[in-house]
């Protein structure tokens, strides 16, 4: 059974543009530096099992899971892929997924 962490679909809705934020679920944490994410962004992209790796944030932003501000240099998970996936600029704070068992 997969461990799962998700964010509320209602939290952080962008009502000014009418766009809903992506639905983000952390499905699994196979290692300390890797998580498996389900990402669904209506009209843009859908990734059922996307691999994200731990890195340092290169710029300020927001965690896609918790909406907590992220500063450049913070430890975050980012989507991996070549070519870069459509959500390549997203990040999930390392602190947003500590409760998931590793392995």
Cis peptide leading into residue 18 (ω within 30°): no
Coil/strand/helix, residue 42? coil
Three-state DSSP class for 88? Answer: coil
Neighbours of 30 (CB within 10 A): 13
Closest CA to 4 of 28, 39, 32, 23: 28
Q: How confident is the model at residue 88, as a pLDDT?
A: 96
Q: Does 103 or 11 have the greater pLDDT score?
A: 103
Q: How far is CA 42 from CA 3, 32, 49, 63, in A?
A: 24, 30, 16, 19
Residue spans per domain, the chain: 5-12+20-96
Look at residue 8 and tell me whether its pLDDT is greater than 90.
no
Give the pLDDT of residue 16: 54
Q: How confident is the model at residue 102 (pLDDT cuts 50, 70, 90)?
A: confident
The pLDDT tens digits of the residues spanning 10-68 come to 344 444 556 788 999 999 999 999 999 999 999 899 999 999 999 999 999 999 999 99
More confident residue, 20 or 103: 20
pTM higher than 0.85 for the full model? no
């Amino acid at each position: 059974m997969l461990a799962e962490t998700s964010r509320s679909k209602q939290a952080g809705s962008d009502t000014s543009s009418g766009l809903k934020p992506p639905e983000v679920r952390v499905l699994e944490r196979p290692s300390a530096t890797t998580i498996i994410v389900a990402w669904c962004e209506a009209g843009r992209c859908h990734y059922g099992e996307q691999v994200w790796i731990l890195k340092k944030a290169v710029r300020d932003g927001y965690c896609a899971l918790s909406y907590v501000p992220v500063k450049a240099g913070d430890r975050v998970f980012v989507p991996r892929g070549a070519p870069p996936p459509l959500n390549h600029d997203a990040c999930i704070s390392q602190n947003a997924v500590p409760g998931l068992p590793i392995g």
